[in-house]
Amino acid sequence: MTGVSGSGKTTLILESLVPALEALTTGKALPNHVKAVTAEGIEHVKLIDATPIGINIRSTVATYANVHDELRKIYARTQDAKDRGRKASAFSYNTGELRCPVCDGTGSVSLDVQFLPDVDIPCPECRGSRYAKEAWQIRHMNRSGEALSLPELMALDVNTALGFCKDMKLVHSRLEVLQSLGLGYLTLGEETPSLSGGEAQRLKLASEMGRLQTDSVFVFDEPTIGLHPLDVQTLLRVFQTLIENGATVIVIEHDLDVIRNADYIIDMGPGGGEQGGRVVACGTPGEIQNNKDSITGTFL
């Protein structure tokens, strides 16, 4: 979906198509201004935005990507854990017995400075790891003979953790998804509210990758805003993977690189506001380029 600001892209997609598809898939009435929508075989519409993931500092990359629960089970099976009677639940930094007693597993403490607003600093007891000292004494050894405790593993970035976790089938495949999303540099224990918009956007797709998506429509609203050009290339590869898995991907976009990579363009306009609201051109990037009515075409 292309077109100058105010040409009606948001109205058509976010305010009409998305709610209409949601109504269609849940058997509810269409929005009043939508006369009809046909979407054979579509069961899900998924709006992926760049808003931060949660305000809860207890949410980390590992918990969000569903690897932490699995790691807890793996650490509970170690001899170290059995000797101490520590079960999988003990390894939860939110509620487990192995969470840091000083920061209660949040990894940070509030510093009360007189006359100044409170300042959050890394917890001096666990140095931000969220775990009590005992957790360091419970180590898992992989088949190559490398041994790490869970807090040590949580301090690794995804790329490095992939090497240590190669014997852990489920964990390894989920970490590979993060790597394919261009998030290999993130630390497992990194809290999700601190991620940038682009990182949050891609992390939200972690559970969507590697599965058949023939019945899904994904909608992205200007996903490249604020992204580094390299991240735009990563995002284009992510779109391609979704499409190869059968998904329909709709992107509202101004970025010419992304527009050139589209299979089909719907260009709104011709101008903004009063001058907008019409579909002025649609077709392949080549067809839009040759369309004299399309302002987007002149830029392509």
Using the contact rule CB under 5 A, the part of the chain among 53-61, 101-109, 192-200, 289-297 near Zn ion is: 101-109
The answer to the question of residue 102 lying near Zn ion (CB under 5 A) is yes
The answer to the question of residue 126 lying near Zn ion (CB under 5 A) is yes
Please identify which residue in 15, 69, 80, 125 interacts with Zn ion, judged by CB under 5 A.
125
Query: How many Cα neighbours within 13 Å face the side chain of 138?
Result: 28
* Closest CB 158 distance from Zn ion, rounded Å: 23
- According to CB under 5 A, which residues from 205 to 234 bind Zn ion? none
The answer to the question of residue 98 lying near Zn ion (CB under 5 A) is no
> Cα(first)–Cα(last) distance of the chain, in Å?
14
Place of tokens 């709610």: 19
Binding residues for Zn ion, rule CB under 5 A, total: 6
Name which of 151 and 223 has its Cβ closer to Zn ion. Answer: 151
Name which of 126 and 280 has its Cβ closer to Zn ion. Answer: 126
226-246 as b/e, with b when 16 or more CB fall inside 10 Å? ebeeebbebbbebbebbeeee
- According to CB under 5 A, which residues from 51 to 90 bind Zn ion? none
Name which of 102 and 141 has its Cβ closer to Zn ion. Answer: 102
* Closest CB 103 distance from Zn ion, rounded Å: 3
Q: Which is it for strands 248-252 and 216-221: parallel, antiparallel or unpaired? A: parallel
Using the contact rule CB under 5 A, the part of the chain among 85-93, 123-131, 202-210, 244-252 near Zn ion is: 123-131
Collapsing DSSP to helix, strand or coil, 64 comes out as helix
Name which of 12 and 155 has its Cβ closer to Zn ion. Answer: 155
The pair of structure tokens assigned to 284 is: 């392949």
Please identify which residue in 20, 103, 154, 238 interacts with Zn ion, judged by CB under 5 A.
103
The answer to the question of residue 100 lying near Zn ion (CB under 5 A) is yes
The answer to the question of residue 155 lying near Zn ion (CB under 5 A) is no
Using the contact rule CB under 5 A, the part of the chain among 11-19, 93-101, 198-206, 253-261 near Zn ion is: 93-101
Name which of 98 and 250 has its Cβ closer to Zn ion. Answer: 98
- Which DSSP string do the residues of 204-220 spell out, in sequence order? TTGGGTTS--TTEEEEE
How far apart are the C-alpha atoms of 42 and 24, rounded to whole Å? 9
The answer to the question of residue 134 lying near Zn ion (CB under 5 A) is no
Burial of 156 (0-12, 13-18, 19+ CB in 10 A): middle
What percentage of the chain's residues is helix, strand, coil (to nearest 5)?
Answer: 40, 15, 45
Angle in degrees, 0-180, between the axes of helices 229-244 and 169-180, rounded to the nearest 10 = 120
Kindly list the residues in this chain that would bind Zn ion in the complex (CB under 5 A).
100, 102-103, 123, 125-126
